[in-house]
Amino acid sequence: MDDRTEQCDEEAEVVRQIIAVVGDDLPRLPNLNQPSEDHIPRSFTIPAVALARCRTLLQGIVILTENNRGDVVGVLLRSLYEVWLVGIYGLLGGLDSFEALLDHRDYWQRPLEKEFGWEVKSEGKGKHISVKHLAKEVERLLKEDPEGSLFYDPVGLYRKLYALDSFESVHGGLGSLGKHLKTSYFITAEQAWEIDVPVILEPRDSGLGCTRMTLAGLLVTDFAKLTWTLGGLDPSRLNMLDTALREANRRRF
Question: pLDDT tens digits, residue range 196-228?
Answer: 667 888 887 667 889 999 999 999 999 999 999
Lowest mean pLDDT among 75-89, 150-164, 175-189: 175-189
**Statement: residue 1 has pLDDT above 50:** no
- Cα distance between residue 53 and residue 56, in whole Å: 5
- Structural contact between residues 231 and 30, judged by C-beta atoms closer than 8 angstroms: yes
Identify the residue with better confidence: 178 or 28. 28
DSSP symbol at 199: B
- Is the sign of the CA dihedral 101, 103, 104, 106 positive or negative? positive
pLDDT the model gives residue 41:
65
Of the pLDDT bands very low, low, confident and very high (cuts 50, 70, 90), residue 229 is very high
- Cα distance between residue 97 and residue 239, in whole Å: 28
Of the pLDDT bands very low, low, confident and very high (cuts 50, 70, 90), residue 155 is very high
pLDDT the model gives residue 184:
57
Residue 101's SS3 state is helix
Instruction: Please choose, from the candidates 126, 129, 29, the residue with its C-alpha nearest in 3D space to the C-alpha of residue 82.
Output: 129
Q: How far is CA 217 from CA 19, 27, 45, 142, 182, in A?
A: 8, 20, 22, 20, 31
Summarize pLDDT for 124-150 with one digit per residue, the tens.
678 999 999 999 999 999 998 877 788
pLDDT the model gives residue 6:
44
pTM: 0.89
116-131 in b/e burial notation, b at 16+ Cβ within 10 A?
eeeeeebeeebeebeb
Question: What mean pLDDT is predicted for residues 221-246?
Answer: 95
- Cα distance between residue 47 and residue 26, in whole Å: 10
Of the pLDDT bands very low, low, confident and very high (cuts 50, 70, 90), residue 123 is confident
- Structural contact between residues 221 and 236, judged by C-beta atoms closer than 8 angstroms: no
Identify the residue with better confidence: 189 or 163. 163
pLDDT the model gives residue 4:
44
Concatenate the DSSP letters of all residues of 127-179 into one string. ----HHHHHHHHHHHHHH-TT---SS-HHHHIIIIIHHHIIIIISSSHHHHGG
